[in-house]
Amino acid sequence: MSIKRQMQRKHQTQNADKKLIASKNENAMVGGILEGSPDAVGVVIIRLECGCRKMAAVDIKGDMASKKIIAYRDNADSICDKCKEDHGDFSRITTQFIEWDKDDIEGATKKMIYEKVFGTAPIVH
């Protein structure tokens, strides 16, 4: 196999790995949120174009399992000025997904929760 091809291959793999998987910092946050939310089955992760993140735990019914939505920014003491102004407006979302805590949740349940969180019941701070 040519080096070019190998590199392309590696690139593809890396892209696949990156897809909707929480980053290292996000994972630390997810762990903390799950610890503080006994009913949680997963954590909603919302990434904003400015680099800030919003997260909240969800329970098996798709309701919020944490007391509040956590907003934070990697390597910063606080969220950015723009987010302080518009509270992380939904128009600026780049990625949103759920990091599941347990693997044994049924696909249909996941779908229901996903739709409840992102579809009919948008998270409002």
Give the max Cα distance, the chain.
Answer: 54
> Are the C-beta atoms of residues 98 and 116 closer than 8 Å to each other?
no
CB closer to Zn ion out of 105 and 123: 123
Q: Is 70 in the site for Zn ion (CB under 5 A)?
A: no
User: How many other CB atoms are found less than 10 A from the CB of residue 25?
Assistant: 13
Q: Is 105 in the site for Zn ion (CB under 5 A)?
A: no
Q: Per-residue DSSP letters for 7-53?
A: HHHHHHHHHHHHTT---HHHHHHHHHHHHH-TT-SEEEEEEETTSEE
Binds Zn ion (CB under 5 A): choice among 22, 44, 83, 98? 83
Question: At its nearest, how many Å lie between Zn ion and the CB of residue 106?
Answer: 35
Q: Is 52 in the site for Zn ion (CB under 5 A)?
A: yes
Q: Is 69 in the site for Zn ion (CB under 5 A)?
A: no
Q: To 5 degrees, how large is the angle CA 72–CA 46–CA 52? A: 35
Binds Zn ion (CB under 5 A): choice among 27, 31, 50, 101? 50
CB closer to Zn ion out of 52 and 64: 52
Please report, as ranges, the residues that interact with Zn ion according to CB under 5 A: 50, 52, 80, 83
